[in-house]
Structure 1
Amino acid sequence: MERLDLVLAGARLTALQSGALWWEEARLLCVSDLHLGKSERLARRGGSLLPPYEVQETLSRLEADIAATDARSLVCLGDSFDDTAAAEALPETALAWLTRLQAGREWFWIAGNHDPAPLTLSGTHLAELRIGHIVFRHIAVPGAEGEISGHYHPKARLNLGGQRIARPCFLMDRHRLILPAYGTYTGGLWCDSAPLSELFDADARAILLGRRLHMVPMPGQRLRR
């Protein structure tokens, strides 16, 4: 599995190829924006009809990351479900799958803007979680230190070997880290967009997902020097 080591607020972290974040010392795996049930929510609201396989694909990747890391704790950084009704409409097979993944682990559900209501699934439900100098929350707060968040689904473009590519990405500077969306049916916000560029220092980095993880200067930030 492709991975890249990082340091934030003294914590040694690892960005994984899947978009998950691994904190080995704490035996903690962190994922953001699963958006489980998005195809159901779109169909319910009369939107595009997408193949209803995103829950299975997302949970398959999550199961693989848990197995690869042997995580003892898992933090879901909010928007784990596309809305409260989507959580309630998950098929029994998916609920049983989640229950198996939770077995024997601490599991933290951070509230997101899509799923703010308490969930019926087991685990600890919080607005945010602090462990040492690290704080986990759904949406980044300006001026925060040691913050790990999601919400924005960041993505970046770059030229690689003469080819222009666009990928989901982690964004990081010395103050904060924003995770890419982990869910299968999720869009994204370009990392040079104002809501993201305004959160980061000029020397921020983007870590693009793919067969290999590519760390590059965060597009647009060099213009702020």
Structure 2
Amino acid sequence: MTGYRFSLNSAGLIARPAGTLLWPDERLLVISDLHFGKSERMGRRGGALLPPYEVSDTLDRLEAEIASTAPQTVVCLGDSFDDLDAGHNLEESPRLRLTQLQAGRRWIWIEGNHDAGPIDIGGTHLAQITLGPLTFRHIAEAEAQGEISGHYHPKARAATRRGLGARPAFLIDVQRVIMPAFGTYTGGLAAGSAALRGLMSPTAKALLTGAPQVALPLSHCAPR
């Protein structure tokens, strides 16, 4: 299985180039910050009018990851919808695609700060969940152990032939993983920012998504 292999709290995990996290022994796939409906929400609230294609693009990539990993359980780590109305207003076609992805597997929606409440699109809605040695929640907690969270949309830069390019990144240390955002229209917080360094240990790594995956010491990541 393609990806960066590591262990967290005795669980063997694979951080995949697309920005998902696989727990092979449990056949469990984790995705964070899908932000479905961001363009609809911004238009509804009088913000910038964005091309309305992010839902289908995000779903295309999500379908590809599920096809590649064949999980029995999918955990979405919150902010799956850009707000509750974006979830309720989702058009019939993406609703059907989500229903098809949920068929035959356990699907868990973790509540985020954008979607702190149930959405009427199948699955189980929880504030957080602990499965074996791992706890899944939206926002990291300072004293957590074996925690997988999202919320911050970390990004980091790596030197390439074309110069310095910022990519979504996993942050990984011995206590926790902070996931990159998976949604198409999501910005990001620099991995080296004070907020993220304050959560991670001095030995933490930033693992850039994409190909090739690049692991950098978090201490080497710029704060902006």
Aligned residue number for residue 209 of structure 1: 209
Secondary structure of 1:30's counterpart equals strand
User: For the Cα contact (< 8 Å) 2:157–2:221, is it kept in 1?
Assistant: no
Aligned residue number for residue 82 of structure 2: 82
Deviates more, 1:101-110 or 1:113-122: 113-122
The C-alpha deviation readout for 1:114-171, integer Å capped at 9, x for no partner, is 0001111111111111011100000000010000000000001232358212111000
Shift of 1:88: 0.8
Aligned residue number for residue 29 of structure 1: 29
Query: Matched residues in 2 for 1:221 and 1:208: separation?
Result: 11
Query: Matched residues in 1 for 2:57 and 2:161: separation?
Result: 30
Query: Matched residues in 1 for 2:200 and 2:168: separation?
Result: 17
Q: How many residues align?
A: 223
Query: Matched residues in 2 for 1:153 and 1:93: separation?
Result: 27
TM-score by length of 2: 0.96
User: For the Cα contact (< 8 Å) 1:22–1:28, is it kept in 2?
Assistant: yes
Shift of 1:3: 1.1
Query: Matched residues in 2 for 1:63 and 1:159: separation?
Result: 30
TM-score by length of 1: 0.95
Name stretches of at least 5 consecutive residues in structure 2 with no aligned partner: none
User: For the Cα contact (< 8 Å) 2:156–2:221, is it kept in 1?
Assistant: no
Secondary structure of 1:119's counterpart equals coil
| Amino acid in the other structure paired with 2:73 | S
Aligned residue number for residue 64 of structure 1: 64
The C-alpha deviation readout for 1:66-122, integer Å capped at 9, x for no partner, is 110111100000000000010011000010110000000000000000000111111
Query: Matched residues in 2 for 1:162 and 1:37: separation?
Result: 32
| Amino acid in the other structure paired with 1:26 | E
Query: Matched residues in 2 for 1:214 and 1:157: separation?
Result: 9
Superposition RMSD on alpha carbons, in Å? 1.6
User: For the Cα contact (< 8 Å) 2:77–2:150, is it kept in 1?
Assistant: yes
The C-alpha deviation readout for 1:17-45, integer Å capped at 9, x for no partner, is 11000110000000000000000001111
| Amino acid in the other structure paired with 1:68 | S
Aligned residue number for residue 4 of structure 1: 4
